[in-house]
């Protein structure tokens, strides 16, 4: 509630406007004459009303402005590593979705992610997504080669992450826009095409943690098997080495030469979706980039029944904000709700 302390000065600025109308004993200094008194009375009424409104605005309404009433960052898991916090949240959400009964069929989920730093510089922003298959109880299914496997509460699962980045991601700066006017004219961008690599979830989060970034996640959202298969197909394409990486891929994605992180995960049915904001280089990175991908999912994928539950892009976003110390203030927290993490 520290933000309320600043209201005293603002409220005082309202009352100072009346100082010239009273003497040292606090009595009104009114000129004589009924007409003047009526004018003063009306003026005082208006002034009193304005003062009351001013006090109301700056005492009650200020916390509402700019989202100041959103929940504080949760420090209860501050000592838990970032990767573990995120995995625990995914497991809890998936477990709630599965329920306590027997699941005889495989179930599939996606978990979209993004990270960015204050001011959302594209050089330090990233969009990625994890895809999960929870195996049916008591089944002996054929597993997908190349995916990570695990077990949680007597349930087997396999998972992978599409996190398409330069091969030296985390050790060298990512070139996004290089050259005057390159954000507007892609032909003026001098950033080179580089070898890409699909990072695992733990590798990606390590880069985010080292950069002290704020990490956002949506979901998990349940999907159909067909969507999972499309995700596996996309991962195999990226792992095949024929596609390279370029942050500004406006000139390279059409011919499947090089793509950026959110085109690698966008619209699993179409290789490199074009058009709309995804077809531009204007601030479609980090949280904005993943949010745009989710819009594409809800318009294209869910219309064909691949996404099995509704998506609320704003409300579903949950964050993990870097905090140098426990109960630190002034954290970069662009989320409706968030937990704190440390390096």
In the structure encoding, which two tokens stand for residue 324, read together?
Answer: 């140098």
What are 198-218's pLDDT values in tens digits?
999 999 999 999 999 999 999
6-21 mean pLDDT: 40
Strand ranges (DSSP E) for the chain? 107-116, 126-134, 148-152, 155-162, 164-166, 196-198, 214-217, 221-223, 244-245, 258-259, 318-322, 337-341
34-52 mean pLDDT: 50
| C-alpha R_g of the chain | 27
The domain ranges of the chain are: 2-67, 82-341
Task: For residue 42, give Cα distances in angstroms to 21, 51, 221.
Answer: 14, 14, 61
- Closest by alpha carbon to 316, among 295, 301, 300? 295
Query: Read out DSSP for 32-99?
Result: SSHHHHHHHHHHHHHHHHHHHHHHHIIIIIGGGGGGTTSPPPB-TTTTS-HHHHHHHHHHHHHHHHH-
67-90 mean pLDDT: 87
What are 228-264's pLDDT values in tens digits?
999 999 999 999 999 999 999 989 988 889 999 988 9
- Residue-level pLDDT at 266: 80
Alpha-carbon span 149 to 264, nearest angstrom: 23
Alpha-carbon span 108 to 94, nearest angstrom: 9
Alpha-carbon span 111 to 329, nearest angstrom: 29
- Which has more confidence, 2 or 232? 232
Judge whether 282 and 208 are in contact, CB under 8 Å: no
Neighbouring-strand partners of residue 172: 169
- Residue-level pLDDT at 13: 40
Give the largest CA-CA distance in the chain.
99
Q: Is the pLDDT of residue 139 over 90?
A: no
In the structure encoding, which two tokens stand for residue 278, read together?
Answer: 């995804």
Q: Is the pLDDT of residue 40 over 60?
A: no
- Residue-level pLDDT at 273: 52
CA 307 and chain centroid, separation: 20
* Angle between helix 34-56 and helix 7-15 axes, rounded to 10 deg: 180
pTM, 2 dp: 0.76
């Amino acid at each position: 509630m520290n933000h309320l302390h600043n209201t005293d000065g603002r409220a005082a600025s309202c009352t100072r406007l009346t100082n010239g109308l009273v003497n040292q004993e606090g009595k009104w200094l009114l000129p004589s004459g009924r007409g003047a008194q009526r004018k003063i009375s009306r003026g005082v009424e208006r002034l009193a009303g304005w003062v009351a409104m001013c006090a109301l605005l700056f005492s009650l309404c200020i916390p509402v402005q700019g989202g100041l009433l959103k929940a504080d960052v949760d420090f209860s898991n501050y000592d838990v590593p970032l990767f573990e916090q995120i995995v625990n949240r995914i497991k809890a959400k998936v477990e709630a979705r599965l329920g306590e009964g027997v699941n005889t069929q495989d179930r599939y989920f996606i978990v979209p992610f993004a990270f960015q730093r204050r001011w959302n510089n594209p050089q330090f922003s990233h969009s990625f997504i994890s895809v999960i298959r929870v195996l049916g109880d008591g089944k002996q299914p054929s597993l997908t080669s190349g995916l990570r496997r695990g077990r949680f509460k007597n349930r087997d699962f396999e998972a992978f992450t599409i996190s398409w980045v330069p091969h030296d991601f985390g050790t060298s700066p990512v070139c996004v826009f290089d050259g005057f006017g390159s954000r507007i004219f892609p032909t003026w961008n001098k950033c080179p095409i580089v070898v890409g690599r699909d990072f695992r979830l733990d590798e990606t989060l390590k880069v985010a943690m080292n950069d002290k970034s704020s990490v956002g996640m949506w979901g998990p959202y349940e999907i159909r098997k067909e969507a999972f298969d499309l995700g596996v197909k996309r991962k195999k394409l990226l792992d095949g080495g024929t596609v390279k990486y370029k942050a500004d891929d406006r000139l390279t994605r059409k011919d499947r030469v090089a793509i950026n992180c959110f085109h690698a995960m966008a619209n699993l049915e179409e290789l490199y979706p074009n058009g709309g904001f995804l077809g531009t280089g204007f601030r479609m990175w980090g949280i904005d980039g993943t949010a745009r991908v989710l819009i594409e999912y809800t318009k294209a994928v869910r219309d064909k029944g691949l996404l099995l539950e509704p998506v609320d892009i704003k409300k579903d976003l949950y964050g993990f904000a870097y905090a140098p110390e426990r109960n630190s203030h002034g954290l970069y927290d662009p989320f409706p709700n968030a937990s704190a993490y440390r390096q």
